[in-house]
């Protein structure tokens, strides 16, 4: 995104007091998240965010609001998503913004927005904080895709309120945030009706939208608030979120960027621009976890697993948006294995507690973000490391891992070892619904089961290699050369070919709504984002709003 960000760094950290575009209201167990985009509040110059259209900055706030609702508001059991504008719900992603963006920016923007919409569905299903949507004005493109991510869509029946996915007819691109997939796979709209709907600039309103499964109910404008209130109360009543619990504040995330060094408290990243590598080191916990869940709650954002999730999440987002030429992320860890294992035990023992559930889900989402990142991920397992349980997921997420067999000459320490914990067996499924272990051993499902018997065991290089947990186990003679050559070779390949290869190899086995969005839909959208019919001089995206007509190469591919 060099074109876009020569001078600014995109910062994903924000907080409610700084929101420009969203208002958050609370009424007992129901929160209302009101989209009210400030036209002059774009992340970059060059476009106005008219008609509640959005850019990355709007979505960063939405993402932050979602996180805070989960952690800071245990009492919230239902969230109403609606518009604060008089005459429009949301016009979708801002077209001028898309138009002035590089290909990489567009793709990264869509990926982040997709992740946030997936998180809305996860909050509903797993945090039991259910999202519903009150459509109180025309709702098009990304606006409708946002509605589609909620579990119940109520639309005003007022003659002007419609839902629409007009991307194909208006802009010659796809609805890029899961819309097509959610139509046929989530809402199970009949494919021929979906086809017609997606070619209709003006969208569909009223009862037909219900009959076609595009929304769940339509009500007269005058009844909208009352109906939304009732539905929200019904959804809230079904939640298992606790009564009377206090939230945990997501305190400002301390991050320093000095030259090529990005440092948080447990995560450090050093960028080697010559080699195109980000060397990421995770520090294990310095102390044992609190003995009780009350203690964990008291520590709050300082509880190591939550700190880890927040810092790693922010680093991934930062690197994706601001360091696109850094194509290889190399993970190391340092710290005590017992301390990591103790924290995993806490996450396991208190899995039923709302806060621990949230932390586990946040870690899950963060690892999923890593899986769908268009960067090569390597893990290096060296003496002094603590790839145990939760941190072992980083090794399993890696495209390739190297584990030093023994120690380097002159090192008096102990060899590296991996350790499995219960957290490797279900807490962190990938977007395809499988654990990383199950994804790894698709061909030998018994292996993953066998490994369950080895929980807590220290697996040094030979044993880890034998168990299939690591790719290579060079000894001290080969270590340095093998790792260096592996990284150098990787850095020399075409970034695009690597992205396509990694996206294909990482997700063997079953597909889910989520994996279909990141694979089928995003891949097609990326292709279309490259095509002259969309982005060429006469492409529809390019000429939109200029009064010029688009001209298409009519050859079908």
> Given the rule CB under 8 A, which of 44-52, 63-71, 162-170, 289-297 is the region that contacts a copy of itself?
162-170
194 binds a copy of itself (CB under 8 A): yes
CB of 503 to a copy of itself, least distance (A): 6
Q: Of 184, 233, 270, 463, which lies in the binding site for a copy of itself, with binding defined by CB under 8 A?
A: 184
494 binds a copy of itself (CB under 8 A): yes
424 binds a copy of itself (CB under 8 A): no
Question: Closest Cα to residue 403, out of 419, 379, 429?
Answer: 379
CB of 264 to a copy of itself, least distance (A): 22
533 binds a copy of itself (CB under 8 A): yes
What are the CA-CA distances from residue 491 to residues 90, 146, 271, 375 (Å)?
41, 37, 14, 11
CB of 280 to a copy of itself, least distance (A): 15
Per DSSP, 425 falls in state G
DSSP letters, 21-44, are: SEEEEEETTEEEEEE---TT--SS
555 binds a copy of itself (CB under 8 A): yes
Backbone angles phi, psi at 271, to 5 degrees: -95, 125
> Given the rule CB under 8 A, which of 83-91, 137-145, 383-391, 527-535 is the region that contacts a copy of itself?
527-535
Question: Closest Cα to residue 99, out of 514, 549, 436, 529?
Answer: 529
Tell me how far apart the alpha carbons of residues 404 and 417 are, in angstroms, rounded to a whole number.
9
Which is closer to a copy of itself, CB of 85 or CB of 542?
A: 542
Element housing 394 (H / E)? helix 392-397
Q: What is the dihedral of CA 292, 75, 14, 269, to 10 degrees?
A: 30
Which is closer to a copy of itself, CB of 335 or CB of 486?
A: 486
CB of 76 to a copy of itself, least distance (A): 30
Q: Is 203 left (phi over 0), alpha (psi -120 to 50) or beta?
A: left
Residues 93-132 that bind a copy of itself (CB under 8 A): 103-104, 107-108
429 binds a copy of itself (CB under 8 A): no
Partners of 218 in beta bridges: 155
- Written as six digits, the tokens of 202 are 């003006």
Q: Of 15, 36, 411, 511, which lies in the binding site for a copy of itself, with binding defined by CB under 8 A?
A: 511
552 binds a copy of itself (CB under 8 A): yes
Q: Per-residue x/- marks for a copy of itself, 436-475, CB under 8 A? A: ---xxxxxx-----------------------x-xx----
Q: Per-residue x/- marks for a copy of itself, 30-69, CB under 8 A? A: ----------------------------------------
400 binds a copy of itself (CB under 8 A): yes
Sheet of 22-27: strand order equals: 22-27, 30-35, 78-83, 130-135, 152-157, 217-220
Map residue 442 onto helix, strand or coil. coil
CB of 371 to a copy of itself, least distance (A): 11
**Residue 177 in contact with residue 153, Cβ under 8 Å?**
no
Q: Of 502, 514, 542, 543, which lies in the binding site for a copy of itself, with binding defined by CB under 8 A?
A: 502
399 binds a copy of itself (CB under 8 A): yes
Backbone angles phi, psi at 363, to 5 degrees: -60, -40
Q: Of 31, 215, 431, 521, which lies in the binding site for a copy of itself, with binding defined by CB under 8 A?
A: 521
**Residue 225 in contact with residue 185, Cβ under 8 Å?**
no
- Written as six digits, the tokens of 39 are 């036209």
374 binds a copy of itself (CB under 8 A): yes
Q: Of 114, 136, 181, 333, which lies in the binding site for a copy of itself, with binding defined by CB under 8 A?
A: 181
Q: Of 297, 375, 419, 542, which lies in the binding site for a copy of itself, with binding defined by CB under 8 A?
A: 375
Q: Of 187, 221, 223, 353, which lies in the binding site for a copy of itself, with binding defined by CB under 8 A?
A: 187
Q: What is the dihedral of CA 226, 232, 237, 242, to 10 degrees?
A: -130
b/e per residue 60-73 (b: at least 16 CB within 10 A): bbbbbbbbbbbbbb
524 binds a copy of itself (CB under 8 A): yes
CB of 36 to a copy of itself, least distance (A): 31
Residues 469-488 that bind a copy of itself (CB under 8 A): 470-471
Residues 289-348 that bind a copy of itself (CB under 8 A): 324-327
Residues 230-289 that bind a copy of itself (CB under 8 A): 276
Cβ-proximal residues to 106 (8 Å cutoff; 6+ apart), any chain: 98, 529
**Residue 191 in contact with residue 183, Cβ under 8 Å?**
no
Q: Of 413, 527, 537, 548, which lies in the binding site for a copy of itself, with binding defined by CB under 8 A?
A: 527
């Amino acid at each position: 995104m060099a074109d876009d960000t020569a001078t600014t760094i995109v910062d994903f950290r924000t907080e409610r007091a700084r929101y420009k575009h969203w208002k958050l209201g609370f009424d007992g167990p129901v929160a209302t998240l009101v989209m009210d985009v400030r036209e002059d509040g774009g992340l970059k110059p060059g476009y106005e965010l008219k008609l509640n259209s959005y850019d990355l900055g709007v979505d960063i706030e939405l993402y932050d609001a979602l996180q805070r609702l989960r952690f800071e508001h245990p009492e919230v059991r239902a969230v109403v998503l609606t518009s604060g504008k008089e005459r429009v719900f949301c016009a979708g992603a801002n077209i001028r913004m898309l138009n002035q963006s590089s290909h990489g920016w567009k793709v990264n923007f869509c990926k982040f927005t997709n992740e946030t919409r997936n998180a809305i569905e996860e909050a509903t299903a797993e945090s039991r904080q259910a999202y519903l949507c009150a459509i109180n004005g025309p709702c098009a493109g990304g606006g409708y895709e946002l509605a589609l991510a909620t579990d119940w869509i109520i639309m005003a029946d007022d003659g002007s309120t419609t839902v629409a996915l007009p991307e194909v007819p208006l802009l010659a691109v796809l609805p890029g945030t899961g819309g097509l997939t959610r139509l046929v796979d989530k809402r199970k709209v009949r494919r021929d009706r979906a086809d017609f709907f997606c070619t209709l600039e003006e969208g569909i309103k009223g009862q037909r939208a219900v009959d076609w499964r595009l929304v769940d109910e339509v009500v007269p404008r005058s009844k909208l608030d009352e109906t939304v209130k009732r539905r929200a109360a019904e959804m809230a009543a079904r939640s298992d979120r606790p009564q009377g619990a206090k939230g945990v504040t997501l305190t400002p995330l301390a991050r320093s960027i000095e030259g090529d060094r990005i440092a948080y408290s447990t995560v450090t990243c050093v960028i080697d621009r010559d080699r195109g590598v980000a060397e990421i080191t995770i520090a294990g916990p310095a102390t044992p976890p609190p003995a009780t869940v009350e203690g964990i709650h008291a520590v709050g954002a300082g509880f190591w697993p939550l700190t880890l999730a927040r810092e790693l999440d922010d680093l991934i987002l930062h690197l994706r948006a601001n360091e696109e030429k850094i194509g290889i992320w190399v993970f190391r860890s340092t710290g005590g294995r017992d301390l990591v294992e103790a924290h995993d035990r806490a996450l396991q023992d208190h899995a039923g507690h709302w806060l621990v559930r949230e932390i586990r889900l946040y870690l899950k989402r963060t690892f999923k973000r890593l899986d769908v990142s268009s960067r090569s991920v390597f893990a290096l397992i060296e003496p002094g490391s603590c790839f145990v349980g939760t941190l072992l997921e980083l090794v399993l997420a890696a495209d390739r891992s190297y584990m030093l067999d023994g120690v380097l000459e002159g090192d008096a320490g102990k060899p590296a070892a991996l350790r499995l914990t219960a957290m490797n067996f279900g807490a962190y499924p990938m977007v395809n619904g499988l654990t990383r272990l199950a994804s790894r051993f698709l061909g030998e499902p018994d292996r993953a089961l066998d490994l369950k018997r080895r929980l807590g065991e220290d697996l040094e290089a030979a044993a880890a290699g034998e168990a299939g947990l690591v790719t290579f186990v060079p000894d001290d003679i080969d270590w340095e050369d093998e790792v260096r050559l592996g990284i150098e070779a990787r850095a020399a390949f075409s970034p695009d070919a690597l992205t396509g290869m990694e996206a294909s190899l990482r997700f063997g086995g079953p597909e889910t709504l989520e994996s279909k969005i990141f694979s089928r839909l995003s891949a097609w959208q990326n292709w279309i984002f490259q095509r002259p019919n969309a982005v060429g001089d006469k492409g529809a995206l390019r000429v939109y709003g200029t009064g010029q007509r688009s001209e298409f190469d009519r050859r079908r591919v």
